[in-house]
Structure 1
Amino acid sequence: MMDEAVLEALDAYVECLFAPQDEALEFTLSASRRAGLPDIQVSPAEGRLLQLLALMVGAGRILEIGTLGGYSAIHLARALPDVGTMVSLEASAHHAEVARANIEHAGLSEKVEVRTGDARKLLARMIQDGEEPFDVVFIDADKRGYPEYLELSLTLSHPGTLILADNTFRGGAVVQPADETSRVLHEFNLSLARDPRLDSILIPVVRERVDGLSIARVKNI
C-alpha cells in the first residue's frame, strides 16, 4: 500500500500544476467550514477532472446528485456554455442554503439551480414532468442510494450522456467488502461493468488515500 505522505504529495503536485484554487473556490471551502458542513467535498484535482470531462463532451445540461457546499457544482458549472444549465439535488436544507450562497458568490447562480429534498423523489418528479435529458450526471450522495440513482439517472439521459460516480473504491474496501456500504458500492461497480447500456471504467483518484471515480457513457437506453 502506498504511503499516505506520498499520496498527499502526489495530490498536491497535481493540484499545484493543474488545479490551483481561485478566490471563489477558496471562499466556498471556507464558507462551508464556517457553516459546519463536513469536509467531504471532491479534491481540487478531482474537481478539475470533472470540469474537463464535462468540457470534453460539450455538456449543455448537467445533473448533480449531492450538492454539499457547492464546490463540485462550481467546477462543473464552469464547463457550461453561456446558455447551459445545471440542476443540483441536496437533501439538507442547510447545505443547500450554503451552496446557493457559494454558487452566487462564484457568479453562477443564473446557471445552477439547487433543489432540496430526497433525491429519489426529486428524480422521479423530474422524470414524471418530462424534464429534458442531461449530458453529464455526477453522483456524489449517500452511497447506499447509488444503484437507484443510476437507474433514475439513465431515464434522464440520452445516448452519449456521461454518468460519473464518486467514492466508488471506498478506500479499497470494495475489494473485499465487509460492511453494507462497501457491499452496495461493489454491486454498483459490478452493475456498471456488466450493464449493456453502458461503456464504463473505474479509475483511481489520489488524495490522502486512493479512492475511485466511476465513469460511464450511455450507449442506449
Structure 2
Amino acid sequence: MGSLSQEELWARSDQYHNSFLIPADEALEYARKNSNANGLPEIAVSTAQGKFLNLLARSIGAKRILEVGTLGGFSTIWLARALPADGELLTCELSEKHAEVARANIAHAGLANKVQIARGPAADTLKKLRPAQPYDFVFIDADKPNNLTYFIEAKRLVKKGGVIIVDNVARKGLVPDETLNDANLEGVRKLLRYLKDDKEVDATTISTVGEKGYDGFLYAVRL
C-alpha cells in the first residue's frame, strides 16, 4: 500500500479506471464547478457511479425516470442522457437554491427539454403524483431519514419490472451498529426492516468503495 491511505487507494483506483472508460466531459465538469462555486455540498454521486446509473437506465430501456434529490443536477444529467428522444425525467428538490443551480447545469448540458424539477418537499411531491404511465426507473438520493417514505411512494409509481435504486445505504459499514443513534443510519435500518417482509419487490445491497469512500446502494426490482 506504500504511503497511500485506504481511501486514497480507492480514489486512485476510481480515477485510473475512469481514465480508460469515461472520457472527459465539459458539461459534467461545468456542473461540478458551478455547483461548488455556488456553495452546494460536495455530496453528488461520483463519476463512476453516474456512469453506472446511465448504463443501468439504458440497459432497461428507461423512457420515464423519477429522481428524488436533485442537488446540482450531476446525477440528473447522467440519467437524462440515458433517455431516448421522447423520454422524460422528473427530479424532486427541496432547496430553491439547489434547484436554481441544477436548472443552469441541466440547461448547459442541453437537457432542459427532458428534465422537470419539482421544487418542494419530495414526500409531498411524490404523494401527489398520479402519472398517466408508471416510471421505469427511480433513483432515491435525498435526506436519509425519509428513505422509507420515498421508497414506498417509488414502489407505487414504478412499473412492474422497474428498478428502484436507493443511494448511501452502507454508510461506512455502520448501519448494523444499533448503538449508534444517528438519523441517517436509522433511515437505512427502517428501510431494511420494511423490505424484509415486502413481497412486492426483490432487493439487494451492493457495497462500494471509490473516490466517495465506503458506501453502497440498494437495488430493488418491482415484482
Q: What residue number does 1:165 align with?
A: 166
Map 1:45-194; keep pairs closer than 5 Å: 45-127=48-130, 130-177=131-178, 178=180, 179-194=182-197
1:212 alignment partner, one of 213, 216, 220:
216
8 Å Cα contact 1:131/1:156 also seen in 2: no
Shift of 1:125: 1.3
Shift of 1:192: 3.3
Shift of 1:155: 1.2
User: Can you list the C-alpha shifts for 1:140-172, whole angstroms capped at 9, x where unaligned?
Assistant: 000000000001111111101100011011121
Give the secondary-structure state (helix, strand or coil) at the position aligned to 1:20: coil
Aligned-residue CA RMSD (Å)? 1.4
Distance 1:131 1:14, change over 3 A: farther
8 Å Cα contact 1:65/1:140 also seen in 2: yes
Distance 1:48 1:194, change over 3 A: farther
Q: Which runs of 5+ in 2 are unaligned?
A: none
8 Å Cα contact 2:90/2:115 also seen in 1: yes
User: Can you list the C-alpha shifts for 1:93-118, whole angstroms capped at 9, x where unaligned?
Assistant: 01001101100000000000111000
Give the letter aligned to residue 211 of structure 1.
D
**Would you say how many aligned residue pairs link Structure 1 and Structure 2?**
216
Give the letter aligned to residue 52 of structure 1.
L
Give the secondary-structure state (helix, strand or coil) at the position aligned to 1:204: strand
Distance 1:12 1:189, change over 3 A: farther
Structure 2: how far apart are the matches of 1:72 and 1:55? 14
Comparing 194-203 with 46-55, which one deviates more in the overlay? 194-203
Give the secondary-structure state (helix, strand or coil) at the position aligned to 1:146: helix
| TM-score, normalised via structure 1 length | 0.93
8 Å Cα contact 2:145/2:186 also seen in 1: no
1:41 alignment partner, one of 34, 40, 44:
44
2:19 alignment partner, one of 16, 31, 44:
16
| TM-score, normalised via structure 2 length | 0.92
Structure 2: how far apart are the matches of 1:7 and 1:165? 22
Structure 2: how far apart are the matches of 1:190 and 1:56? 29
Structure 1: how far apart are the matches of 2:168 and 2:161? 23
Give the letter aligned to residue 98 of structure 2.
H
Distance 1:13 1:175, change over 3 A: farther
Distance 1:33 1:132, change over 3 A: same
Shift of 1:16: 1.8
Structure 2: how far apart are the matches of 1:192 and 1:45? 27
Q: Which runs of 5+ in 1 are unaligned?
A: none
Kindly, what percent of the aligned residue pairs are identical?
A: 42
Give the letter aligned to residue 163 of structure 2.
L
Shift of 1:184: 2.1
